[in-house]
Amino acid sequence: MIHPSAIIHPKAKLGADCHVGPYCVIGEHVELGDGCKLHSHVVVDGHTKFGRANEIFPFASIGLKTQDLKWKGGVTRTEIGESNTFREYVTVHSATNDGDSTRIGSHNNLLAYSHVAHDCQIGSHIVMSNGSTLAGHVIVQDHAILGGLTGVHQFCRIGRMAMLGGYSKVVQDIPPFMIADGNPAATRTVNKVGLTRNGVSEETQTALRQAYKIIFRDGLTVANAILALEKDLPALPEVKELIEFVRSSERGLSR
Task: Single out the catalytic residue among 46, 136, 147, 151.
Answer: 136
- Domains for the chain: give ranges and CATH numbers: 7-137 (2.160.10.10), 196-247 (1.20.1180.10)
119 catalytic, yes or no?
yes
Mean pLDDT in the chain?
A: 98
The predicted model scores a pTM of 0.97
d(CA 130, CA 86): 11
Instruction: For residue range 95-111, list pLDDT tens digits in order.
Output: 999 999 999 999 999 99
Q: How confident is the model at residue 217 (pLDDT cuts 50, 70, 90)?
A: very high
Summarize pLDDT for 162-210 with one digit per residue, the tens: 999 999 999 999 999 999 999 999 999 999 999 999 999 999 999 999 9
Query: Catalytic pick from 45, 51, 105, 119?
Result: 119
Percentage of the chain exceeding pLDDT 90: 100
Q: Residue 198 burial (CB < 10 Å; 0-12/13-18/19+)?
A: middle
Q: What are the tens digits of pLDDT across the range 70-82?
A: 999 999 999 999 9
Residue 199: CB partners within 8 Å, gap ≥ 6? none
Q: Distance of CA 48 to CAs 17, 31, 75, 185, 252, Å?
A: 19, 6, 11, 33, 33
Which among 138, 171, 168 is positioned nearest to 179, based on CA atoms?
A: 168
Catalytic residue of the set 118, 123, 131, 194: 118
